[in-house]
Chains A and B, each alone.
Chain A
């Protein structure tokens, strides 16, 4: 199983499923992390903590704790 955390900078990946729960899931859905959405990996931040993604045209930073819930193909 490949998750968003594994994607490399510069890659554009497609969401297979969003396995987060409750409020995080709602928040990710609100930001457009829905099945089939395209996500571009823009940059890794300091200490490999945050990564910036382009999601639905916006730049969103996620921690690896969050991006690990997003299964990609």
Chain B
């Protein structure tokens, strides 16, 4: 059948080259695909040496990463595609994977599978095999499989599928040399035959044959895949144009000339046959031990039980904060001793060198002191919290959190996976906002983006810790004094969760009307965390990264604050003028002008809010003795803080506007100024409203 499309296809003017990976002559491009949570990122990191952040829950790799490695004199570019269960669904991530595998200029696809869940994973292998010319099946997590007494007959699978199969454990490096060897051999092969692994029923295959003849005439590249998708998909998947690939108009023409209808029925049949084959392979080549498989189920019977699920979660949260606070105490003191001790010396040097007092003030009392504060107050809690949190993440606890909290989110007409974005927000709100991509429904994703800021990020909870320690942990018992800040921070997080749910509900009834969309959640297997990697990624990658960002902002912010505090117009410094200008307004909310100003200065990084606040207080007050333990409390009291001020600063810190990085990320993710403005306005309104209520109540009561 000639549709007269051949000429037209050669006239294609718009080309899609976004999926063309830049490469040199002797480089090969290897695409890494796989189900979520199969250790794909670990394979990627092992090969390329890049430390991409990995975690034990689906949807972690939301953007594809690129890395390179050399092996036996050849260079390889690895593309880490977002994890996906299938290439058919309409989720953003899965579209990226599908389009890259369809249109990208890769030489070979490696599909990473979870050895403990091969049946489900094989479905994707089959789908990729219809698109990629060369496929390697990498069965990862083989050590986890061994623990569960699952054994896989590699030779049998290899023979049956006629593609290379490698058993690996990327975290220990097992099988990775073999994987490299297989990649090397495969890319060198000249033969470029599609090895579609599944033969469908006669009816489908007959139609594929007919359509293929037509596609061949049009010089279409992936004829079998294209024919199958014409049978089982809407023409939307042909929206991107590229030479050698069918475009949307052509696909519509072919569909109508072949009279292709009922895509959904064909898709269902194809999925069924894919899975039937996967099941057959599993029965033939995988031996399991049902007792061991049920271990996860038994743990979950407790962790996600109706009665213990929530209490365990709360205790866990409190425990993480308690360990963080306890552990941070001593290093914090040591750091502050060293850094403030050095300030004294630095100051002496400046005097000896005859540097003017004004410069000395800017550099030492302004920039250096703020920096020292940021480092000594922020670094220790971060360096403890990040690894602890990553530990829970690696164990596979986060999907259980989503499981336990789902009914609340459902009531708020939001998505159950929003709690996963919130968990990420505890680390960094910008990361949390990007993480919202795991939510398919645009309405619910927006809700998750707009409310993510209610989770106190790492830049904020050291502020919560410091203030609650200074103000409320003043009992006689040192044990209790350790417990109180942990309780306060936990309470703050609960307030944040509650406000998230309320705001989500209100948004669902007003700006973002709608009902909760569908929800499927995989409870991933529990895994032994990789302690070495956790320490590396959380300390080097996250802590140092976050801290250096804060430090870069702390230095100029400190200098400017000092200048403002020491430049006088009339008999008042600029700082005092600005603060007293805000003071009346701030007092309504149980805050003061300096606090409000510090929060404004802290827009680039929340880490500097407390240090700037202290700077401002110190420069106006008379207190100079700041090495003592009760120093923070003394300054605050001297500046008229009451328990209400302390509480409201914590609440304000929890709820106020997002930092500039988060705002920028929201702009990028939503592509809308309007929603970015909403994400700025909603928390700000919430912060003022909540503080107004507490301040009014306090005034009524006391």
Contact = CB atoms under 8 A, between A and B. Distances in A.
Interface in A53-73: 55-63, 65-66
Given A18-B268, A56-B275, A30 B88 contact: yes
B268 A27 contact: no
B523 A31 contact: no
A73 to B, nearest CB: 15
Contacts of B403: 45, 50, 52, 61
Given A46-B309, A60-B522, A30 B296 contact: no
B340 interface: no
Interface string B103-137: 00000000000001111100100000000000000
Contact of B120 (A50, A57, A62): A57
Contacts of A57: 116-120, 282
B275 A61 contact: no
B609 to A, nearest CB: 37
B180 interface: no
Contacts of A16: none
A26 B404 contact: no
Interface in A24-43: 24-32, 34-37, 42-43
Contacts of A60: 520-523
B310 interface: yes
B278 interface: yes
Given A26-B88, A29-B86, A57-B119, A34 B523 contact: no
B407 A32 contact: no
B520 A28 contact: yes
Interface residues of A, number: 36
B440 interface: yes
Interface in B389-426: 403-404, 406-407, 410, 416
Contact of B306 (A31, A32, A35, A45): A45
B72 to A, nearest CB: 36
A65 B271 contact: no
Which of A20, A43, A58 has most chain B Cβ within 10 Å? A58
A66 B520 CA distance: 8
Interface of A: 18, 20, 23-32, 34-37, 42-47, 49-50, 52, 55-63, 65-66
26 contacts: A18-B268, A23-B518, A26-B88, A30-B86, A30-B123, A30-B271, A31-B522, A35-B268, A45-B407, A46-B306, A47-B306, A49-B407, A49-B410, A50-B406, A52-B300, A55-B120, A56-B278, A58-B117, A58-B120, A58-B522, A60-B520, A61-B523, A63-B406, A63-B416, A63-B518, A66-B519
Given A31-B522, A60-B523, A63-B416, 16 more contacts: A23-B518, A25-B264, A25-B268, A26-B267, A29-B88, A45-B406, A46-B310, A47-B306, A47-B407, A50-B521, A52-B300, A55-B120, A57-B282, A59-B300, A60-B521, A63-B519
